[in-house]
A and B are shown apart, each in its own frame.
Chain A
């Protein structure tokens, strides 16, 4: 039974598509769509820039700090080479003879940008983006300060954390929580969550009121408890193999940073795969119809769960956290996502273990219910 259950899993085209092929196709598409953005950002040559400060104040100081941090020689984040000029006129003269490409003029509450006559699109975009973002952030913090000083401080801290406007490829793929990394991780989680289909399949195999094949099991002398355990194990193993292959592709083909703690990663994978299969068992038991109908309903549920966990819009979990935090706690895709994300950004071991504990706890509950129901030997209706 064990051998054929594993063979069945690997021959199931529909299951393999959702669990294995679809996530890899999505990852490949994302790699080709977004990888070039990071390569492009990292290919920008530092631009000769003059900073003119008019007056003194917090606003001007903040902007000076920002430009200086982006002008650090040898830094991977370097965007500018700072040139000296005593006045705006002298700066404009240097711009005219192409000794500088950008002039920033910062006064109290405003940042003006001057560009060469034959400026590049890149210099216009970078200079405009930095000036606008700074102005918006500052205004936001100033407004917040009037309303709620504590919230304003949070924004200041956030602004400090996000002071880097471009990041190195390693950072982009690794330590920095950015959408690119998030999409890869949540796509992996989506594939794992689709392993719920194996749980539904298990219900179809073992419940005579769901499928005719299960009638053969129930009529046979094989012990139901033993069959449930075998069927579960026969699904966990292919699940682990599939995730292992996906992780290797993510790391070695797409260069995704998966953290340094492979023990924790292994713990996440095993608990996530078991969680998804047991979640599928519960879906299979709760939904009505034949195995295919139950599978279709579970697919819809998983897609909604994955969408709300930020697969398409990475800000969604943040929104839920702010207005309806319980939703993130009960959405299986978010729970899995958060555990993996906390693991890979590596700054919250406690948070990771909290998520893992939640995943394992739910798995135990789902499995206990699943085994209790699946072990029943007869049914109210067939």
Chain B
């Protein structure tokens, strides 16, 4: 797969504040690339620099193998943006909004008409074409926001937190839509601070914080970067210190806690962690009621790499 977007050594300063600090990233054709980080981590600033909306202090940005600049009009034709805020005109209808923004890219009226209709079909706003945005729910507005960004069929689409303040049903529809865009050949750059979405959607993820790259890779690769790979919770009564010490000494276990009859074990990568601990307790005659095993999340990855929670809401 060819490289669609390449960012090398990007630096953006706001006076003394360094918003982006020597950021590198590379996105391949057909990928859904996630940019994950807490609010204020520099995700939107990175996108704005890539799109030449912001002047940056240092670095190189190439899209489709060519240097991106404010006057790179040929490159801009192939780019779509779905901004974080719903960017539509309140005085225009759904159809007029999509037609208007599509018109910035597609001059031929017939082609535009077809594209606008396809965008409406894509976001399922057929019943609302004559509605003004003020009459739409938050989820429908978000869908309109997406339609305005993708109607001209761009090859590279930036989604900047498109699911903020959206109900779960609309969120799922948006995520399904993004997946479909990829199937249709688009490359997606998706920013979010919702780790579940990024985990579900993205092929590769770049985690950033305070403008720094924290980690990059697939979900599995990222999870593999941390010591903790499994959290085992067992409901068991009357565990004594001797039993707890035995659990602590088991293979891969690096953290054990016991409160209110809940034994919580954090273990590193191992295929039989749960079985090993259950067998150990059974041998000692303990009766267990409930057993849970959870995989680490991206939040755990972020927590372990930075020492703080990813979600700051």
A residues contacting B by CB (< 8 A) are 1, 4, 7-8, 11-12, 208, 211-213, 215-223, 377-382
Contacts and interface: CB of A to CB of B under 8 A. Distances in A.
A288 to B, nearest CB: 16
A215 B101 contact: no
Interface stretch (B72-80, B118-126, B174-182): B72-80
A321 B83 CA distance: 52
B14 A221 contact: no
Contact of A217 (B52, B104, B149): B104
Contacts of B96: 4, 7
A341 B67 CA distance: 57
B55 A380 contact: yes
B91 A7 contact: yes
Given A218-B53, A378-B53, A1 B89 contact: no
B91 A216 contact: no
Contacts of A208: 53
A219 B149 CA distance: 10
Given A11-B91, A212-B87, A220-B105, A4 B55 contact: no
A103 to B, nearest CB: 69
Contacts of B99: 4
Contacts of A220: 76, 101, 104-105
21 contacts: A1-B104, A4-B96, A7-B92, A8-B92, A208-B53, A211-B87, A212-B85, A212-B87, A213-B87, A215-B81, A216-B81, A216-B87, A216-B101, A218-B53, A220-B104, A221-B77, A223-B73, A377-B70, A379-B54, A380-B55, A382-B44
Contacts of B92: 4, 7-8, 11
A378 B73 CA distance: 14
Nearest to B77: A221
A272 B148 CA distance: 36
Nearest to B73: A221
Interface residues of B, number: 35
Contacts of B87: 211-213, 215-216
Interface in B107-159: 148-149
A215 B83 contact: yes
B89 A8 contact: yes
Contacts of A11: 91-92
B100 A1 contact: yes
B64 to A, nearest CB: 14
Q: Which of B74, B104, B148 has the most CB of A within 10 A?
A: B104
B98 to A, nearest CB: 11
Nearest to A8: B91
A220 B74 CA distance: 10
A220 B106 CA distance: 10
B104 A222 contact: yes
B83 to A, nearest CB: 5
B166 interface: no
Nearest to A13: B91
Contacts of B54: 378-382
B205 interface: no
B212 to A, nearest CB: 20
Nearest to B14: A381
B48 interface: yes
Nearest to B84: A212
Given A4-B96, A212-B85, A216-B83, A12 B91 contact: yes
A213 B97 CA distance: 11
Given A7-B96, A215-B81, A221 B51 contact: no
A56 to B, nearest CB: 75
B81 A213 contact: no
A378 B52 contact: yes
A197 to B, nearest CB: 13
A204 to B, nearest CB: 10
B115 to A, nearest CB: 14
B88 interface: yes
B91 A219 contact: no
A212 B70 CA distance: 17
Contacts of A4: 89, 92, 96, 99-100, 103
Contacts of B101: 216, 220
B271 interface: no
A377 B83 contact: no
Interface in B181-219: none
B71 interface: yes
A370 B288 CA distance: 75
Contacts of A213: 87-89
B281 interface: no
Contacts of A212: 83-87
A4 B92 CA distance: 8
A315 B71 CA distance: 54
Contacts of B70: 218, 377-378
Contacts of B148: 216
Given A216-B81, A216-B148, A219-B79, A377 B52 contact: yes
